[in-house]
Amino acid sequence: MKIAVAKGDGIGPEIMQAVLDIFTANKVPIEYEYVDMGKWVFDKGYSNGMTPEAQQTIEDLGILFKGPMETPKGKGVKSVNVTARKTWNTYANKRVFQTLHGVDTVFSKAGIPIDLTIVRENIEDTYGGIEHMLTHDVALSRRFITRPGSLQVIKYAFEMASKNGSKRITCGHKANIMKITDGLFLEVFYEVAKEYPHLKADDVIVDDLCMKLVSRPQEFDVVVLTNLQGDIVSDLCAGLVGGLGFAPSANIGDHICIFEAVHGTAPDIAGKNIANPTALLLSGIAMLRHLGMMENAATIENALLYTLESGVHTGDFGDKSIPSVNTTVFANAIISNLGKTPTHGARPMLPNQPATQTVFKLEENPMIMSKEPEDELIVGVDMFIESSEQPMVIAEKCLLHVGDVFKLVTISNRGTQVWPKGSVFTNMVNQYSARFESVGGAAVTQTDILELYRALMADFKICSTELLNKWGDKNAYSLAQGQ
């Protein structure tokens, strides 16, 4: 078994060394192939933060174990961490948060045990980074949620929850506001739930979830969320167990998986051999389980828990009355505790399993798609136009150009209807949406849309357009606020 290892920037190399030393001491049957990724690779001129050789090696081996990495600021380059997750389609980010005895938190002091798994969608949402300025005042980020993308992560979450004997799986969402996007995610969640009748599946609005997580976190078991909400909730949960220094992260895809520490590179303490390797070690342990090396995983995790319980700690945590140790001493303490069993939360010695991962070559990009609806019609278009005039003036101009095919239905500004009726108190920005629907709900063609565009162009700058689709008798678009 061979995996790719990227040591990372800052404290990356020294905490990776500590983890691999522990693996070696436990005779973990893995070989490591080191790859070039991170800040120094950007600095060499590779705009995605990795060399082509690194990319090839990772794609050949299918598993990347990585230290924290830095993306240079202000050069317009995108985060190497996000690029890795997206390019290799690691659609699920799994993060396990558990109370560690020896790591004091507000919750450990209150005697509240934490044992939570957050599964975050890892590809979609505003993380697509598709952003445009529509006018000099109006910025737009396209937040997309797809059915097959949601299906991938939700199926993973249910499968994982089922395998781990979880009792409850909860969908966090904001479908009360984002009815179409988060509504889709929630719909897919309950569709998949039907295949797992032994799991209690429910949902919670994300703000309510966060309120509950800071008061009664023990009520939750597995929570699955869209990307940004999952990002926020994951870090909140990291705070419950002591911070990112104690929170592992696994990025799961069908072909390639990435196990990494998500904390920073801590350049201020880099090279001093004082960094805390716990999060990277926990990520490594998750990788061992993923590879079916259950005995190694349990032995090393028990040694870590035993060491933390015994009060050994690096400078960033632990009982201040006990002197802190450096990274090497911390790792050696864990090595010397291999085979010991902690008092709290000892992991069971499960038999080794086959690796869940199968690496295979792809000939072309997988197109993930669900069944198409039987009847699909275009019934109109939203035209996003730049103007600083009053709604009535916009309406008059639109009505001048509307023709016979379409009718002007509503004009809104920042999502709130301002024509045909609205409130004079609604403040407006210089970007309106004018909604044109076909007369009598008839199907229209792209040529009809084009002709409307041509007509409106005479009076407006059209920043953006969105087709209005109808599937069966269901409108595939939202109403304006107040419409």
Choosing from 60, 195, 211, 441, the residue that interacts with a second copy (CB under 8 A) is 211
Q: Does 343 bind a second copy (CB under 8 A)?
A: no
Q: How far is the CB of 334 from a second copy (least distance, A)?
A: 25
Q: What is the dihedral of CA 175, 178, 183, 189, to 10 degrees?
A: -60
Residue at 373: amino acid letter? P
- Smaller CB separation from a second copy, 335 or 368: 368
Minimum CB separation of residue 223 from a second copy in Å reads 14
Q: Does 38 bind a second copy (CB under 8 A)?
A: no
Please tell me whether residue 87 binds a second copy under the rule CB under 8 A: yes
Strands 200-205, 376-386: pairing kind: unpaired
- Buried b / exposed e along 278-296 (16+ C-beta atoms within 10 A): bbbbbbbbbbbbbbbbbeb
| Nearer of residues 98 and 433 to a second copy, judged by Cβ | 433
**Is 359 near a second copy (CB under 8 A)?**
no
In 67-114, which ranges are E strands? 92-98
Please enumerate in sequence order all residues whose Cβ is within 8 A of that of 7, keeping only pairs 6 or more positions apart, or say none: 13, 16, 17, 34, 38, 66, 67
**Between residues 166 and 410, which has the closer beta carbon with respect to a second copy?**
410
Q: Are 7 and 16 in contact (CB under 8 A)?
A: yes
Binders of a second copy among 390-409, rule CB under 8 A? 390-391
Smallest distance from the beta carbon of 471 to a second copy, in angstroms? 6
Angle at 323 between CA 317 and CA 327, to 5 degrees: 65
Which is nearest to 21 in space by CA: 435, 274, 232, 328? 328
459: left (phi over 0), alpha (psi -120 to 50) or beta: alpha
**Which positions from 278 through 297 interact with a second copy, judged by CB under 8 A?**
none
**Is residue 168 near a second copy by the rule CB under 8 A?**
no
Structural contact between residues 101 and 345, judged by C-beta atoms closer than 8 angstroms: yes
One-character DSSP codes across 252-267: E-SS-EEEEE-S---G
Q: Is 203 left (phi over 0), alpha (psi -120 to 50) or beta?
A: beta
Smallest separation (angstroms) from a second copy to the CB of 182: 8
**Is there binding between residue 239 and a second copy (CB under 8 A)?**
yes
Q: How far is the CB of 363 from a second copy (least distance, A)?
A: 7
**CA–CA separation, 218 and 256 (whole Å):** 32
- Enter the DSSP assignment of 481: B
Span of 169-177, 274-282, 302-310, 324-332 interacting with a second copy by CB under 8 A:
169-177
What does residue 474 show for φ and ψ, rounded to 5 degrees?
Answer: -105, 125
Q: Give the strand pairing for 406-413 and 431-438.
A: antiparallel
What is the rounded end-to-end Cα distance, in angstroms, of the chain?
60
Site membership for a second copy, residue 426 (CB under 8 A): yes
Q: Would you call the peptide bond into 348 cis, given omega within 30 degrees of 0 as the criterion?
A: no
Binding residue for a second copy (CB under 8 A) from 179, 272, 320, 344?
A: 179
Q: Does 152 bind a second copy (CB under 8 A)?
A: yes
Provide, rounded to whole angstroms, the least separation between the CB of residue 186 and a second copy. Answer: 11
| 132 part of the interface to a second copy, by CB under 8 A | yes
Nearer to a second copy, 148 or 339 (CB): 148
Least gap, CB of 290 to a second copy (angstroms)? 17
Q: Which of 154, 433, 434, 438 binds a second copy (CB under 8 A)?
A: 433
Q: Is 424 in the site for a second copy (CB under 8 A)?
A: yes
Q: In terms of Cα–Cα distance, which of 25, 221, 38, 22 is closest to 118?
A: 221
Closer of 346 and 378 to a second copy (Cβ): 378
Verify binding: residue 276, a second copy, rule CB under 8 A.
no
- Tell me if 345 contacts a second copy by CB under 8 A: no
**CB closer to a second copy, 232 vs 402:** 232
Q: What is the C-alpha to C-alpha distance for residues 249 and 17, in angstroms, rounded to an integer? A: 18
Q: Could you say which of 256, 331, 334, 408 contacts a second copy (CB under 8 A)?
A: 256
Contact 206, 172 (CB under 8 A): yes
Count of residues interacting with a second copy (CB under 8 A): 137
Interaction of residue 189 with a second copy, rule CB under 8 A: no
Span near a second copy by CB under 8 A; candidates 300-308, 317-325, 342-350, 427-435:
427-435
382 binds a second copy (CB under 8 A): yes
Write down how long the chain is.
483
Please pick, from the candidates 213, 257, 287, 333, the single residue that binds a second copy as defined by CB under 8 A: 213
Which of positions 104-123 make contact with a second copy (CB under 8 A)?
105-107, 109-110, 112, 123
Residue span binding a second copy (CB under 8 A) among the ranges 18-26, 33-41, 135-143, 282-290: 135-143
